[in-house]
Amino acid sequence: MIKTIFLPGRTFFIFTLFYLLFACFAFFFEFIFLFWFLTGIGLLPIIICDLLLLALAGDRLKVKREVSSSLAQGENARVKLFISRSGSLLPFSIRLFDLYPDSMNTQVFPAKIKRNILKKSGAFVFEYSLTPEKRGKWHFAGTEFMFSSILRFWKMRVTHENISHGRTYPNFKQLARGLDLKGNPQNEDVKQIRKRGHGMEFESLRDYQEGDSIRSIDWRATSRNRLLDGKLKLIVRNYQEEQDQQILFIIDSGYRLPDEQFDSALNAMLLLSYVALKHGDFVAAASFGARDLWIPPRKGINAYNGLMNGLYDLHSEPVPSSPFSAMEKALRHLNRRSFIIFISNFREEDGESLSWILPRINQRHLLLMVSFREKEAEELAYRQTSIIKNDEKILETAAASSYLENRRRMYSKWEHSGLLVLETSVSHISSALINKYLNVKKSGKL
């Protein structure tokens, strides 16, 4: 489908302006009035002919777009527009606008198309790059051409229904860049992590090597392996981390996590999911608040695509959210011991509402409560009260200190009951979560 609209051009507006000014003088002088009248009658056919020529020469182009349907957030994407001529006539001037989504950004348009190229070859490829700035679904509404007439009295806007659809996913390479991890999640180092003598599953026996722990020596196997000179040949037990364990992420998509915190938390979830799948564990995910979501546990690196497709367009919204309800729903889905990573911004009232359900969960599962540090509250609480002369600011500082202290008490109470607690910043949540997971795997708590 093609939509065509004729618009006045720059020359038309300039001519109209001067013609109106000329009419002001013609109102007072008769000889100027006659000249003004004859000028209008003489230019009117020219303006009409200019419009007719544009109508005959316009809309002689065809366009087709080529763009990947899967893009990475913040990563430049290449777009190709295949433009071809379908007639012999061409407009005097051609400008191109690709109607890209609001979630993307580029500085290319409007782009001027050279008529000579289309005249000689009949077709050419216009290539440009754009940057997806937001996660989620997107679509190109079409491609628009702006044609100008020979005398620039008229313009013709032609919109081609050149629609493309796709999705923008979090940029995995960008997420993993610069993290302080015990292994790089982009290569096999994570999969091959071994804690000699401290793992949970026996793997094999091997010869002792310098640097091995004395606790890893298998003295029974060593006693059966004597060298020719009668000395013992030390044998150590090689362990590997347990696999086939289950990880469940629960993320708050309500008012507690604003956009920046939510995006960082979601990116950390996806990155840790990749690491856990590389370790051979099952991974499940759930959200509550703005959107109730449940992605059942799956194993294998191929399951990562399912997680990405389920979480890529998840966003937080300023709506109420209940951690208590989220915990109850999670228990209905879990039929085996799991490592539950619960991400939200917990308040003092959560300690009371969750007080009876958290110990019950902790009997069957290992629970990690993840919350973000409150920068604004910390700045208010730690500023020097001696230089504050305003009573309202003193009260703000006292309230912020009380708020942070109550949170610390709640976290301490949770830790004493056997729960794991992690309070981190937006910039460090990915590293903190992955290292916490690796420590749990190493410790055998799961």
What does the DSSP assignment read for 384-411? -GGG---HHHHHHHHHHHHHHHHHHHHH
Do 20 and 156 share a structural domain?
A: yes
List the domain range (segments joined by +) for residue 340: 246-443
Per-residue pLDDT of the chain (446 residues; tens, 9 = 90+): 788 899 998 888 888 888 888 888 777 777 777 787 888 888 888 989 988 888 887 777 889 999 999 999 989 999 999 998 877 777 788 899 999 999 999 999 989 988 788 877 778 899 999 999 999 999 999 999 999 888 888 899 999 999 999 999 988 776 666 455 554 444 433 433 444 334 455 556 777 776 666 677 777 777 777 654 556 777 777 655 556 799 999 999 999 999 999 999 999 999 999 999 988 999 999 999 999 999 999 998 889 989 999 999 999 999 999 998 998 898 889 888 999 999 999 888 888 888 878 877 888 899 999 999 887 777 777 776 556 666 677 777 788 888 888 889 898 888 888 889 999 999 899 999 999 999 888 877 77
CA-wise closest residue to 433 among 303, 253, 275:
275
Do 363 and 278 share a structural domain?
A: yes
Question: First and final CA of the chain: distance in angstroms?
Answer: 59
Rounded to 5°, the CA angle 176-300-422 comes to 45
Q: Determine the pLDDT at residue 293.
A: 93
Do 395 and 347 share a structural domain?
A: yes
Give the domain-ending residue among 220, 240, 260.
240
Is 306 within a domain?
yes
CA-wise closest residue to 96 among 150, 52, 133, 142:
142
Dihedral sign from CA coordinates of 409, 412, 413, 419: positive
- How far apart CA 105 and CA 134 sit, in angstroms, is 10
Q: Determine the pLDDT at residue 198.
A: 42
Q: Determine the pLDDT at residue 189.
A: 38
Give the domain-ending residue among 240, 266, 294.
240
**Strand pairing of 339-343 and 293-299?**
unpaired
Q: In degrees to the nearest 10, what's the CA dihedral of 291, 430, 343, 366?
A: 120
Do 430 and 325 share a structural domain?
A: yes
Q: Determine the pLDDT at residue 190.
A: 40
- How far apart CA 108 and CA 389 sit, in angstroms, is 54
Do 229 and 272 share a structural domain?
A: no
- How far apart CA 77 and CA 328 sit, in angstroms, is 42
Q: Where are the beta strands (DSSP E) in 197-304?
A: 201-207, 235-240, 246-252, 282-288, 293-299
Q: How many domains does the chain divide into?
A: 3
Helix (H, G, I), strand (E, B) or coil at 66: strand
Is 195 within a domain?
no
Do 309 and 163 share a structural domain?
A: no
